[in-house]
Amino acid sequence: MNVNWFKFASPPAFYSLAGRLIPIFWGLTLTLLVIGLYWGFFQTTDQLGGSNPQKEYYRIIFIHVSSAWMSMWLYFVMVVWAAIGLVFNTRLSFMMAKAIAPTGAVFTFLALWTGAFWGRPSWGTYWDWDPRLTSELVLFFMYIGYIALHSAIDDIRRADRASALLAIVGLVMVPVIFWSINCPDPNQCAALHQRSNLTKIDGNILFAMLTMSLAFWMYSFAATFMRLRSLILTREAESIWVRELLTQRGEQ
């Protein structure tokens, strides 16, 4: 089979492809959200744990863990697109990276926010300098830095490449930051989070959590593609195909 891998690397081709994909991803998002939330609320136990039970409020896990996973995954995806852009010099990859960043920042914020509200009833505090809290906060700063650098540079080509380099440097730093926060001193390593252990989680909870993660993932696709389409239109505003598109729309 002879596939032209670079067909959709051209903005006009991808513009129409994204337009067709967006409704599909929205549909998937809503379906998975409904299933995940229904399962999370009605098919799971009301309490967790033995001697010190987590009551109804543990259900925040379906939003919290899913958005935390998504926040890290999206940063990685963003860096991959940024690196592809730097290596192959493709315009669309940079636009992709830029389009992902706000969604990633939103999920990071959501993870921190829901975490605070989960922490209050279960740990008795909104915030603690626990390793995972701190590294998630740093991740949030890095998304903000990426967005800020991109919007500070007027020249689009330079903005794309400079923020791509920043994202890559950030990815190299992530493990270093994570481990430095995690264990500078074993005595100080009072982590409030328990170790993640997916195999021990009750099947129903795991199902709801994974469904929610998938829903968030599909949402990321939908939101990114929508942002990407408007980015393509703004950047290619001078090109012929965009003008033709606009006149077509005008006639309808």
Partner 1 sequence: MLRSFWCILTRDLTLALRRRTDVLTTLFFFVIVVSLFPLGVSTEQQILRILGPGVVWVAALLASMLALERLFAADYDDGTLEQLLLTGQPLALLVLGKITAHWLLTGLPLVLIAPLVGMQYHLTDTAIGVMMIALLIGTPILSLIGAIGAALTLGLRGGGILLSLLILPLYIPVLIYGAGAIEVSVIDLSNTQPYLTLLGAFLLVALIFAPVAAAAALRISIE
Binding region for partner 1 (CB under 8 A) = 138, 141-142, 144-145, 148-149, 152-153, 158, 161-162, 165-166, 169-170, 172-173, 176-177, 180-181, 184-185
Q: Which is nearer to partner 1, 103 or 135 (CB)?
A: 135
β partners of residue 48: 54
Q: What are phi and psi of 195, to 5 degrees?
A: -65, 145
Pairwise CA distance, residues 206 & 227, whole Å: 31
Query: Do residues 59 and 44 lie in contact, with contact meaning Cβ atoms separated by under 8 Å?
Result: yes
Pairwise CA distance, residues 216 & 29, whole Å: 7
Q: Which is nearer to partner 1, 174 or 192 (CB)?
A: 174
Q: What are phi and psi of 54, to 5 degrees?
A: -90, 120
Smallest distance from the beta carbon of 176 to partner 1, in angstroms?
A: 5
Smallest distance from the beta carbon of 183 to partner 1, in angstroms?
A: 10
Q: Which is nearer to partner 1, 153 or 206 (CB)?
A: 153
Q: Which is nearer to partner 1, 2 or 187 (CB)?
A: 187
Written as six digits, the tokens of 19 are: 């337009």
**Residue 54 DSSP code:** B
Q: Which is nearer to partner 1, 158 or 193 (CB)?
A: 158
Smallest distance from the beta carbon of 177 to partner 1, in angstroms?
A: 5
- Residue 89's region, left for phi above 0, alpha for psi from -120 to 50, else beta, is left
Smallest distance from the beta carbon of 251 to partner 1, in angstroms?
A: 41
Smallest distance from the beta carbon of 203 to partner 1, in angstroms?
A: 38
